[in-house]
Structure 1
Amino acid sequence: MRHHLFWPCTVLLLVLGMVLGGCAMQGRRPSEPFIVVLGVAQDAGYPQAACRKACCAPAWRDASARRHVACLGIVDPETGQRWLIDATPDVREQLRMLDAIAPVAADNVSQVGLAGILLTHAHIGHYLGLAQLGREVTGARGVAVYAMPRMRAFLEGNGPWDQLVSLGNIELRDLAAGVPVELAPGITVTAMVVPHRDEYAETVGFVIAGPGRRVLYVPDIDKWASWDRRIEDELARVDVAYLDGTFFANGEIPGRDMREIPHPFVEETMGRLGALPASERAKVRFIHFNHTNPLCRGEGAAVRRVGAGGFGVAREGELMPLVRVPSGEVE
């Protein structure tokens, strides 16, 4: 039985400094289930490889301006369990970040301290980190990896991923759209199929449900109008929504037909949801920023514009409680 303790605010930012290009997290550790944002960038990270343009210059100059690939951690302090949504190319640093806020008693490297990893799809920013579980790195043992049917078949049928299965580094577990997976007492995750470029596997978003709150995570989707659900309806069913913010506006990549890489522009999402009540708009936190997206820098006119519209921008290290947060109450 959980005894709910109140959080000082809806979003608790514990990133108080940067050390050697990584997050130095400090502050009181929550005693109830929570989500932690471990990355906010698109698959390539920020700065992007070989980018010599002005958009990446600040991050090449200053390690503290760099951003990890989009990833959420789920933590249950009561059981001491931790999960990742997606295994990104930055999983090494993200595990270190997770250790800082939710330590585990692992006495050797093969005990990576993960109860499981839930995969959204088979694009490079979302599963390449599984390689770090192999014999060349951690030599992990039996890490549960939750995957949709095509995603599972992709991992089982292609190297080097099939070796992770055959050597027992990972244990594949089935995901099915609309079927909740219980991670721990009071914590479930439910996959929902979204339209995206599905060359190798399905693409899903997740609803993470805790003892008192629900969080929607959709880092990749083609366009809201292409979905067989209304984003407004899904927003009404949750308390917080981390939504695809890959590109801020059309024309962001000069000389590139952006129809080849469909995503709902942040401008489009704000326009579509702009007439909703302030309480609904405040649920939205954009994530998964391309290196060209000014939101990736975390400040400036674009960030102010999002805030003025009543929306939010996800930040690395922010915690989102999965328990209800009564107004005016503190832990």
Structure 2
Amino acid sequence: MAKAFGFVAYGGPEQQEFLDRPTPVPGPGTVRIRVVAAGVNPADWKKRQGRFGTEAAPPVVMGSEAAGVVTAVGPDAGGFRVGDEVFGTAPGGAFAEEALLAARTTAHKPRTVGFAEVAALPVAAATAYDALDQLAALGLHSGQALLIVGAAGGVGTAAAQIARGRGLHVLGTAGEGSADHVRSLGATPVRYGPGVAERLRGVAPDGVDAVLDLVGGDAVREVAAALRTPGRLVSTTDPATAAELGGAYVLRDHTAAPLAALAELVAAGTLDPHITARYPLDRAAEAMAEVEGGHARGKLILEMSRP
């Protein structure tokens, strides 16, 4: 049996508890890992609340980002062998001592990067990477200006660093309390709220070359006029407003390629996952409470075992 943390019914935190699950057997296209670290995301509590549907019958193991050591390889999961150090997405849950990863979205961990650091990449950082690739395909290139709407969150933190690494000048809307964090990413903060369009003109009088929207709604409508190239806008959260403004919703890659590229950026020092707290598995409820309460700044990690 393998210890795991999940929920036994859809609803609030009171539905969370520890579970004893059979050691998973890898099927076609999957590998089993001994989990060393797992990332904690807002999507984890939103899934528990049923915001993504309630098709999965509880009990459900929580978490989707995991890093660890391969202990078994299923059929049609070529490129992996027992003992490999890997990370990726865990469709059956990541908050567990043992988990299954989809081979298609699993990458090898660089030797110089820790398990916790790569466990922080598959959700927010990969979303940022895919969105920036999409903007690059629309013509955004080094030397141009990118506005990130909502730059202080997990996706924005990764996007600002990746964009800076690509030679882009980055501006980001954020609350007054997050301005220093945005500056630490190498970006210029623009306080959101009433008057944001005027403040944006103050720091970018000629406008911006692209917009990465991580908020949606009026937050992106209010700054869309600054976009010099119509349509060069990608949203990770609001497809309707993106379409209204002539932009597009993010196209996810869903392969291991972005994960491998992100890990190399971490190894090179270009991308800092901004891990701010690490919890053992037996304190998973505390980690979830911090994320669900909106008090988490940076990335939270659960650590299950030693490498």
User: Taking structure 1 as the reference length, what is the TM-score of the superposition?
Assistant: 0.25
**TM-score of the aligned structures, taking structure 2 as reference length:** 0.27
Greater fraction helix: 2
